[in-house]
Amino acid sequence: MNKEEVYKIIGQVLNMEAEEITPETSVETAPDWDSLAHINILTALDEKASGRIADIEDFMDATSVQEICDILVQYGLMN
């Protein structure tokens, strides 16, 4: 998946437009990013990545879009 797809998924979960999502968007800056939204972000990304995200524990500690993207790149799931 690419950055635009990731931003769109995160935006949908957080009730934000994809254009509003930046690398700095985080649990501190997005009012709707709570623990349930975090699980929903990971679930949506996992569906897009054909189930390859569920076993990557690093995602549970990610608190920003940048961290999520970095992990996706690290595991070869984002280009």
Q: With 0-12 CB in 10 A as exposed, 13-18 as middle and 19+ as buried, what is 14? A: buried
User: pTM to 2 decimals?
Assistant: 0.94
- The owner of tokens 């961290």 is 67
Per residue in 13-59, pLDDT tens? 999 999 999 999 999 999 999 999 999 999 999 999 999 998 899 99
Which domains are assigned to the chain?
Answer: 3-74 (1.10.1200.10)
Structure confidence at residue 3 as a pLDDT band (50, 70, 90): very high
In angstroms, how far is the first alpha carbon of the chain from the final one? 6
pLDDT attached to residue 79: 87
Determine the distance from the C-alpha atom of residue 52 to the mean position of all C-alpha atoms in its chain, rounded to a whole number: 14
Q: Phi first, then psi: give them for residue 64, nearest 5 degrees.
A: -150, 165
The DSSP line for 51-69 is T-STT-THHHH--BHHHHH
